[in-house]
Amino acid sequence: MVPPLRERPAKTPLKKTAPPTRPKPTPQNRSAKEPVQVFCRLRPLSNYADVVAVHRVATNNTLLRLSPPDKRNELFYKFKQVFSENTSQKEIFADIALPLVSDLVNGKNGLLFTYGITSSGKTYTIAGTPSEPGILPRSLDL
């Protein structure tokens, strides 16, 4: 005869812990990197584009105003930084990719990706041209 199985003990209640909290900004940690930084690079208008609908707010390099031709429903978008259509590949690399590459060399993880519609300049920004190398060739040349 098989001995009877012991009754299962009642479930042990889970230890209640406080949810993780993010430290509140203080003057000491306010300059710490944000986990996600979003940049915007404006590209030059093509020859057939005759309406400018995106404007940088003159006093601010972080704010864009999207103005439809009818001037109604203007939208504002905030970025870490907005780069003009005249910004060089070298400046883009220095401001965006170089800090990520430096962190990578020091053992930190990082991710950079481009997003936009067809012909918006994603490949140009990443790969560049032989005369104006983009982020990837400049990162590999360090």
Q: Strand 75-78: give its sheet, edge to edge.
A: 54-56, 63-66, 75-78
Query: Any known ligand binding at 33?
Result: no
Instruction: Provide the residue type at 72 as one letter.
Output: R
Question: Residue 56's pLDDT band (boundaries 50, 70, 90)?
Answer: low
- pLDDT over threshold 50, residue 140: yes
CB atoms within 10 A of CB 12: 6
Would you say 12 is a known binding-site residue? no
Condensed to tens digits (0 to 9), the pLDDT of residues 73-124 reads 888 888 999 998 889 999 999 999 999 999 999 999 999 999 998 988 999 9
118 is in an annotated binding site: yes
Residue type, 19: P
117 in a labelled binding site: yes
